[in-house]
Amino acid sequence: MLDLTYDAPAPKVIAGAKYDWELVIGLEVHAQVATNAKLFSGASTLFGAEPNSNVAFVDAGMPGMLPVINEECVAQAVRTGLGLKADINLVSAFDRKNYFYPDLPQGYQISQLYHPIVGEGEVLVELGDGTARTVRIERIHLEQDAGKSVHDMDPNMSFVDLNRTGVALMEIVSRPDIRGPEEAAAYVGKLRQIMRYLGTCDGNMQNGNLRADVNVSICRPGDYEKYQETQDFSHLGTRCEIKNMNSMRFIQQAIEVEARRQIALVEDGKAVVQETRLYDPDKNETRSMRSKEEAHDYRYFPDPDLLPLEIEQAWVDDIASGLPELPDAKKARFMGDFGLSDYDASVLTADVENAAFFEKVAEGRDGKMSANWVINELFGRLKKDDKDITESPVSADQLGGIVTLIKSGDISGKIAKELFEIVYTEGGNPAQIVEERGMKQVTDTGAIEAAVDEIIAANPAQVEKAKQNPKLAGWFVGQVMKATGGKANPAAVNQLVTAKLGL
Ligand code: ADP
Ligand code: MG
From 233, 239, 255, give the residue whose CB has the most ligand 1 atoms within 8 Å, as the site to mutate.
239
Same structural domain for residues 98 and 38?
Answer: yes
Same structural domain for residues 99 and 226?
Answer: yes
- Parallel, antiparallel, or unpaired: how do β-strands 240-245 and 275-280 relate? parallel
CA 394, 201, 24, 257 torsion-angle sign: positive
CA 374, 367, 330, 71 torsion-angle sign: positive
Same structural domain for residues 381 and 399?
Answer: yes
Atom of ligand 1 nearest to the CA of 237: 23
Using the 8-state DSSP alphabet, how is residue 233 labeled? G
What digits encode the pLDDT tens for the residues 274-318? 999 999 999 999 999 877 777 778 899 999 999 999 999 999 999
Same structural domain for residues 401 and 289?
Answer: no
Same structural domain for residues 201 and 349?
Answer: no
* CA distance to 58, 271, 343, 371, per residue, from 358 (Å): 46, 53, 14, 7
Instruction: Please count the CA atoms within 13 angstroms of the CA of 265 that sit on its side-chain side.
Output: 18
Same structural domain for residues 425 and 468?
Answer: no
Give residue 36 CA to ligand 2 midpoint distance, Å: 27
Give residue 246 CA to ligand 1 midpoint distance, Å: 19
Q: Is residue 375 very low, low, confident or very high in pLDDT (cuts 50, 70, 90)?
A: very high
Residues 6+ apart with CB under 8 A from 132: 4, 6, 8, 9, 124, 125, 126
Q: Which of 75, 72, 80, 111 is nearest to 93 (CA)?
A: 111
Q: Of the bound ligands, which one is closest to the alpha carbon of residue 179?
A: 1
Atom of ligand 1 nearest to the CA of 217: 24
Give residue 75 CA to ligand 2 midpoint distance, Å: 23
Q: Are 14 and 263 in contact (CB under 8 A)?
A: yes
pLDDT of residue 6 exceeding 70: no
- Within 6 Å (CB) of ligand 1, which residues are found? 24-28, 173-176, 215-217, 233, 236-237, 239
Q: Identify the CATH number of the domain in which residue 484 sits.
A: 1.10.10.410
Residue 302 falls within a domain, yes or no? no
Same structural domain for residues 421 and 485?
Answer: no
For 411-436, what is the mean pLDDT?
94
Residue 303 falls within a domain, yes or no? no
Q: CA-to-CA distance for 103 and 118, rounded, in angstroms?
A: 28
Give residue 172 CA to ligand 1 midpoint distance, Å: 12
| Residue minimizing CA distance to atom 17 of ligand 1 | 26
| Residue minimizing CA distance to atom 7 of ligand 1 | 173
For 324-347, what is the mean pLDDT?
96
**Per mean pLDDT, which of 284-293, 334-343, 448-457, 491-500 is the most reliable?**
334-343
Q: Of the bound ligands, which one is closest to the alpha carbon of residue 29?
A: 1
Picking from 295, 315, 339, the residue at the C-terminal end of a domain is 295
Residue 244 falls within a domain, yes or no? yes
Residue 192 falls within a domain, yes or no? yes
Same structural domain for residues 454 and 395?
Answer: no
| Residue minimizing CA distance to atom 22 of ligand 1 | 239
Q: CA-to-CA distance for 243 and 169, rounded, in angstroms?
A: 16
pLDDT of residue 326 exceeding 60: yes
Same structural domain for residues 58 and 203?
Answer: yes
Residue 352 falls within a domain, yes or no? yes
Q: What is the pLDDT of residue 194?
A: 98
What digits encode the pLDDT tens for the residues 428-451? 999 999 999 888 877 677 888 888
Q: Is residue 7 very low, low, confident or very high in pLDDT (cuts 50, 70, 90)?
A: low
Q: Are 479 and 473 in contact (CB under 8 A)?
A: no
Residues 6+ apart with CB under 8 A from 56: 38, 41, 42, 43, 65, 166
Give residue 24 CA to ligand 1 midpoint distance, Å: 10
H-only helix segments in 231-298: 248-267
Instruction: Please count the CA atoms within 13 angstroms of the CA of 132 that sit on its side-chain side.
Output: 16
Q: Is residue 253 very low, low, confident or very high in pLDDT (cuts 50, 70, 90)?
A: very high
What digits encode the pLDDT tens for the residues 19-56? 899 999 999 999 999 999 999 999 999 988 999 999 99
| Residue minimizing CA distance to atom 3 of ligand 1 | 294
Q: How far is CA 3 from the centre of its chain?
A: 21
Picking from 386, 412, 436, the residue at the C-terminal end of a domain is 436
Domain housing 182: 3-8+20-295
Atom of ligand 1 nearest to the CA of 175: 16
Residue 14 falls within a domain, yes or no? no
Q: Which amino acid is at 128?
A: G
Q: What is the pLDDT of residue 470?
A: 85
* CA distance to 218, 384, 400, 405, per residue, from 416 (Å): 54, 19, 12, 8
* CA distance to 213, 286, 339, 413, 473, per residue, from 479 (Å): 62, 63, 35, 17, 10
Number of folded domains in the chain?
A: 3
Mean of all residue pLDDT scores within the chain = 92
Q: CA-to-CA distance for 179 and 228, rounded, in angstroms?
A: 13
Q: Which of 207, 171, 170, 167 is nearest to 59 (CA)?
A: 167
Picking from 295, 312, 341, the residue at the C-terminal end of a domain is 295
Same structural domain for residues 344 and 200?
Answer: no
Give residue 113 CA to ligand 2 midpoint distance, Å: 10
Same structural domain for residues 218 and 350?
Answer: no
Enter the pTM of the model.
Answer: 0.88
Residue 332 falls within a domain, yes or no? yes
Same structural domain for residues 346 and 492?
Answer: no
Residue 317 falls within a domain, yes or no? no
| Residue minimizing CA distance to atom 11 of ligand 1 | 26
Give residue 173 CA to ligand 2 midpoint distance, Å: 8
Q: What is the pLDDT of residue 450?
A: 86
Give residue 124 CA to ligand 1 midpoint distance, Å: 20
